[in-house]
Structure 1
């Protein structure tokens, strides 16, 4: 019943050991009933000696590695029973140990089922097209550019591009979603998905070792082999548990003069709950996560995930969809939009960055011919430089493109439009002169605001967005997502430093795409890579891969990790507590050795069954809401009444003010709105809404009100930018545009307050 039994070299012994010890006990019992006591004693002794020999071998192997173990107590219990001529007790203890080992063997296999399924379904062969014929080859021999065929029911062996018209696929092994999906010709296919329709042709774009499913298999294998620090802690417990057990047994013998009490103490002291509960719970939690499309690399990662209180999120592809689309092309210097796009797209062909790919897709959709770029240099987080035909072209951030030169009024106007529209952009310079700018949109994932709210409810104290984008653009995304802390304009090295600096305040969690963010993922205590496509690249940098490209799976990963650790601790505490009580009962003579062996087996079974709860975890509700909370919130609404009156006043007459007075009025109003109104809504989001949600029906009943918060924050940010523009140049902005925004904010805030107060009244049943 030791941890060593979980290793591969002894695991096969567990079922035969149960059979041998069971036969020894059964044959001995029959012999005793037939009046053959010597044969009965020999049979019982033989069964217990088999177990003793196995324990001795395992102890020797552990000691050779410098490890100790609580196995010693079990071995001493068998030896003591044999020394005192208690053959039946020795046989029962041996059967108890063997049955516990067998139970661990079968429950561990049950807990590992999802992990084994991921590993076992990995394809080993592929059908390679060889002229008109098909040739079966090992999947390791498939090379990039070769065409393979996947028949009905077969697993796609490597990442590739679909050459057939369409394909119906089962992607549940990667996404956890059972419904089939349809892919069209030219679309990318990931290895590990199953063909549900007619045979399809695929052009390999990766070798098997570099493909998506290979990374998934590596992570699954690592999870199966892992031992968490909490599991290894059982070995260190032996340094205290074994001497304590021997001391209690010795005192019981010394004070009572009855050696059988010492034997009874040794029998019930076998710490099977400590040995069995933790590994079963940890593997069960990892397997449960795998069932939901979340691959946790090892038990150490699961334990670290359970402890995190700080979360860092990449923007593109994590908080946003990552599906960047070209919105418009702004030009200067008499250039045509199509020509600027052609220069930019030709240069962008040399990069795999999502923005570069979006530029190329936009040019191809307009059937713009592209040239092969030459002498391309890419600066991560900044842009690209190279030659397109006879022209030198630079593409990227404004600071990279201008390289210290004068920005100009045209670029300032583009930046302002980007800020107001909450979009990103890349500037284009040709032969040293500004040529244009490409504006992009990348929408916040629909589930992102809900996920951020629930992360706070789970106890994440700090949520930070890290991005290389400009602060003005990133602020809109942060507000739409509900994130309060933002670090923008970061290089990959800056992201690493941000994560490392936060390490002193507690465990850190970094979520990114698993490729561009690999350094930051590796720097965090736990790195989470989004999307199965990042599984291969993240197998070293990230400890967790969310195979389905959905941020809400992060919530499930956190909940599974925390509840798994809680279950493991509860199982250990309960099991060890019961064993300790049994030791005391045995020491005082109330529990004979034979009855103690049976009782210990019952405790083992109870602990293992409890640990198996980690295979089926459900989210827990947030805490209750008190009447004092409701009173406080209504008082805050009343206190904001004067400020809302000012907002209503200027929403009706701001455009009639003189420019200088309008600038001062807007400045005072926006300062107060950001100081009072915004802070009130943020407090609601952080503290009130999680409590309210626990008293309402549904998974996210307050999501509409939360959307109202984010729209208020967005309008306040836009008003702040207009205030700053009017301060610099009172005539730079039509006052009617400001008044329109004030009207929208006034209408939204009053409607939002009415909705909240009506909800409070419904919940206040005192």
Structure 2
């Protein structure tokens, strides 16, 4: 029960101390708002708390201050994501680089590398510059920059990017771009720009504060002039205190964010709920998002009277000690079939060509088709046709040779996540357009898009182009979610109205720059999050409507003096209960499939 101004005692002094302590932050914020001509909700709350304290209603002032402070703290929980994301980008580059100068190989700090330097990159090292391969061959994982799902074979004349990983092989690279001029440096810059340019979502109450604040003052003044009763005027200011309005938004946001968290989705700030409710377009990265982002054995083509199982076993023996993604996929496929994989009798890794082993007295070679010429292994037009057909399906082909004859072909593809198709279907049911962007080839992209029934597809795009696609849609009036997992997705995740990152497979940059993290990597959560966001916004409007009805009733009862400052404040306290209960329904809300 609220005490009136005539009560004294320790409790009353505690209320006064609480009111002054809590209100001081609000008063300062209101003062700053007035200086900047930004009439936020803090101004009517300041008037109400000063009025309540002036007539001795310390408990009312304390309640008002605490409610507003809690609501403000909730809506301002914004983590320092940009700094963490940019630190993660820096980790993609080595501290020192091996440079060939004046015929000597020397190790220099990364910042000392210049355009025109010749860089030596060994197996397992990260590439520090954008450049051109002068000599050597290697398998480079450049998913961090281009988003390609599988390692790319590099040889003389090919382009490489800073931040990519040389998985196998060795190269001499001519540095053409260093530092901020590299593709990785541009990603760094794009993230910084997007973080500073993205506007903050205004709180619902603040949008109407310019009307709300002068209305409260004018009505209080008129009532004082008309009735000659200052207590009625102060009561009018107190009933205009937006206690219930303050609760209308954050309670719904807390409940909806809590619902999402219980299902493995991290929403980093409440304002994201409002943004997601307006979404009409979802853009998906392909690699690691719609797909697993790692090669899986798709098919075996046996030749020369060999069996599929025998070819898989021979390939697994050859790749048993390999660190190449294709090799790992072969061994995994053999293990899944229950095959026992013995060690090879001899093992030889031929840089840039493949692997040669000896097992059961036979010489076995495993490598990419174009690499076989260096080993004098030829193949027929029929095999060439099979390779072409597999390539048109977006697959990568590895050959198995037995004693210098092609014995079979293994085809690999990046498998689609099982929930991807259902997620796309659910988004279409919500009337949302779906788009896929990827750095992969057009053949791969179109195969994936067709199988998932995605509306539009953009293939062979760089990080800058992903940002341009997002901006183009936004200029057309669309509200965009971008879903990704890689470093190359960072700028697009920040530029989009809402960025969603894969939590398990996503890179630190993607996770830190996104507003939402899918902790379980379940794409079905995308339509779910949009649905609960729409429900949350509807709940907020219901709360606002209820708040305005309570306000109207309070004003009507204040004019004839029926309400006093104490009963007016009590009315606000009691009216908050329906708002909280209405918002609490969101905790158990389950969207229809």
Q: TM-score range by the shorter chain?
A: 0.5 to 0.7
1:293-336 CA distances to partner (integer Å, 9 max, x unpaired)? 1112222433332222111223344334556422346699xxx9
Q: In structure 2, what is the Cα distance between the partners aligned to 1:304 and 1:424? A: 38
Q: In structure 1, what is the Cα distance between the partners aligned to 2:369 and 2:567? A: 77
Mapped pair 1:97 → 2:64: yes
Mapped pair 1:605 → 2:572: no
Number of residue pairs matched by the alignment? 440
Q: Secondary structure of the equivalent of 1:534? A: coil
**Quick one: which of 48, 54, 60 aligns to 2:21?**
54
Q: In structure 2, what is the Cα distance between the partners aligned to 1:48 and 1:308? A: 45
Q: In structure 1, what is the Cα distance between the partners aligned to 2:436 and 2:343? A: 36
Q: In structure 2, what is the Cα distance between the partners aligned to 1:338 and 1:273? A: 68
8 Å CA contact 1:100–1:604 kept in 2: the answer is no
TM-score (norm 2): 0.60
**Quick one: which of 250, 265, 272 aligns to 2:243?**
272
Q: Secondary structure of the equivalent of 1:563? A: helix
1:202-601 paired onto structure 2 within 5 Å: 229-230=200-201, 232-235=203-206, 237-320=208-291, 324-328=295-299, 349=323, 357-358=328-329, 361=332, 371=348, 413-414=385-386, 417-418=389-390, 422=393, 424-426=395-397, 438-460=410-432, 462-491=433-462, 494-505=465-476, 506-514=478-486, 517-518=489-490, 520-534=492-506, 536-587=508-559, 589=561, 591-601=563-573
Equivalent in the alignment of 2:160: none
CA 344–616 in structure 1, closer or farther in 2 if over 3 Å, else same: same
CA 463–411 in structure 1, closer or farther in 2 if over 3 Å, else same: farther
Q: In structure 2, what is the Cα distance between the partners aligned to 1:494 and 1:367? A: 47
TM-score (norm 1): 0.48
Answer 1 or 2: which has greater strand percent: 2
Q: In structure 1, what is the Cα distance between the partners aligned to 2:258 and 2:369? A: 44
CA 245–347 in structure 1, closer or farther in 2 if over 3 Å, else same: farther
Q: In structure 2, what is the Cα distance between the partners aligned to 1:256 and 1:361? A: 86
- Residue 53 of structure 1: how far off its partner (Å): 1.7
Answer 1 or 2: which has greater helix percent: 1
CA 569–423 in structure 1, closer or farther in 2 if over 3 Å, else same: same
CA 395–599 in structure 1, closer or farther in 2 if over 3 Å, else same: farther
8 Å CA contact 1:346–1:373 kept in 2: the answer is no
1:29-58 CA distances to partner (integer Å, 9 max, x unpaired)? 9xxxxxxx7xx3677974663344224421
- Residue 463 of structure 1: how far off its partner (Å): 0.8
RMSD across aligned positions (CA): 4.9
1:668-712 CA distances to partner (integer Å, 9 max, x unpaired)? xxxxxxxxxxxxxxxxxxxxxxxxxxxxxxx5xxxxxxxxxxxxx
8 Å CA contact 1:513–1:529 kept in 2: the answer is yes
Structure 1 gaps of 5+ residues are: 1-21, 30-36, 113-227, 375-384, 621-698, 700-766
Structure 2 gaps of 5+ residues are: 78-198, 304-309, 357-364
- Residue 426 of structure 1: how far off its partner (Å): 4.1
Q: In structure 2, what is the Cα distance between the partners aligned to 1:314 and 1:477? A: 11
- Residue 611 of structure 1: how far off its partner (Å): 2.6
1:157-172 paired onto structure 2 within 5 Å: none
1:231-260 CA distances to partner (integer Å, 9 max, x unpaired)? 645456444422221011112222333323
CA 314–340 in structure 1, closer or farther in 2 if over 3 Å, else same: farther
- Residue 481 of structure 1: how far off its partner (Å): 2.0
8 Å CA contact 1:347–1:387 kept in 2: the answer is no
CA 80–316 in structure 1, closer or farther in 2 if over 3 Å, else same: closer
Q: In structure 2, what is the Cα distance between the partners aligned to 1:497 and 1:555? A: 24
CA 318–600 in structure 1, closer or farther in 2 if over 3 Å, else same: same
CA 559–412 in structure 1, closer or farther in 2 if over 3 Å, else same: farther
1:612-649 CA distances to partner (integer Å, 9 max, x unpaired)? 333222215xxxxxxxxxxxxxxxxxxxxxxxxxxxxx
8 Å CA contact 1:514–1:528 kept in 2: the answer is no
Q: In structure 2, what is the Cα distance between the partners aligned to 1:253 and 1:288? A: 47
CA 495–100 in structure 1, closer or farther in 2 if over 3 Å, else same: closer
Q: Secondary structure of the equivalent of 2:589? A: coil
